[in-house]
Amino acid sequence: MDDERRRQLEADPRFAGFVAERGDALLRYGYVLAGNPHDAADLVQEALLKLRASWPRLRAKDNPESYVRTTMARLHTAAWRLRRRELLAWDPPEHGYHDTLPSEDEQAMWETLAGLPRKQRVVLVLRYYEGLRDEEIAAALKISRGTVRSQASRALDKLRSAVGEHIGEGVMSDRGERR
């Protein structure tokens, strides 16, 4: 990158404003994806570096945050592919935002979510946290819709099983019916 372009990037206050305004939300999103604060911070940092390199092209768009979130999901999936096995533990972020302390049921849910395989966790985060449709998830992760559905189904089965064991009663299906 030439010096002139670098000065233009550094002089653009909109990039710094975007990072200041959306940084905490991106860190929370990264935490939900990665399951721990350290990997979440790495995801945010890497995605913002990619955004900064593309800022002249993306600053005119309405939603650079969408670019960053998609980049974070892809980076997370790429890391999963490199490190096939990983042991995650419940470790809340040091500066996270919580309305209240999690109940035992919520704690069990978070521990189970953190223990899911990375691809299953990413699919659930994109579906339920980001509200993406199966087609959008498949495009973001570069996998088929069928893979999205099977990963989501397996993940939900594991969550239902773990929560059902924890609370000792029947669990709900996708439609809210007792099973």
54 plus 113 within the same structural domain: no
Q: Percent of the chain having pLDDT more than 90?
A: 27
Task: Tell me if 7 is assigned to some domain.
Answer: yes
Going by pLDDT thresholds of 50, 70 and 90, the confidence category of residue 135 is: very high
Decide which of 119 and 79 is more confident.
119
Q: Percent of the chain having pLDDT more than 70?
A: 70
Tokens of 50: 């990619």
Tokens of 164: 């059902």
Look up residue 102 and give its DSSP letter: P
Domain CATH number, residue 177: 1.10.10.10
9-28: b or e for each residue (b if 16 or more CB lie within 10 Å)? Answer: eeeeeebeebeeebeeebbb
Decide which of 173 and 8 is more confident.
8
- Is residue 154 scored above 90 in pLDDT? yes
Tokens of 48: 């913002």
pLDDT-wise least confident of 75-84, 145-154, 157-166: 75-84
Task: Find the DSSP H helices in 59-133.
Answer: 64-82, 104-115, 118-124
112 plus 81 within the same structural domain: no
Q: How does pLDDT run across 23-52, given as a tens digit for each residue?
A: 999 999 999 888 889 989 999 999 999 888
40 plus 79 within the same structural domain: yes
Going by pLDDT thresholds of 50, 70 and 90, the confidence category of residue 174 is: very low
- Is residue 102 scored above 90 in pLDDT? no
Q: Would you state the pLDDT for residue 53? A: 85
Q: What integer is the mean pLDDT of 101-130?
A: 83
Tokens of 35: 């399951």
36 plus 62 within the same structural domain: yes
Going by pLDDT thresholds of 50, 70 and 90, the confidence category of residue 170 is: very low
Tokens of 15: 């990039």
- Is residue 90 scored above 70 in pLDDT? no
119 plus 44 within the same structural domain: no
Across the chain, mean pLDDT equals 78
5 plus 73 within the same structural domain: yes
Q: What integer is the mean pLDDT of 166-175?
A: 48
Q: What integer is the mean pLDDT of 78-103?
A: 60
H or E element at residue 11 = helix 3-11
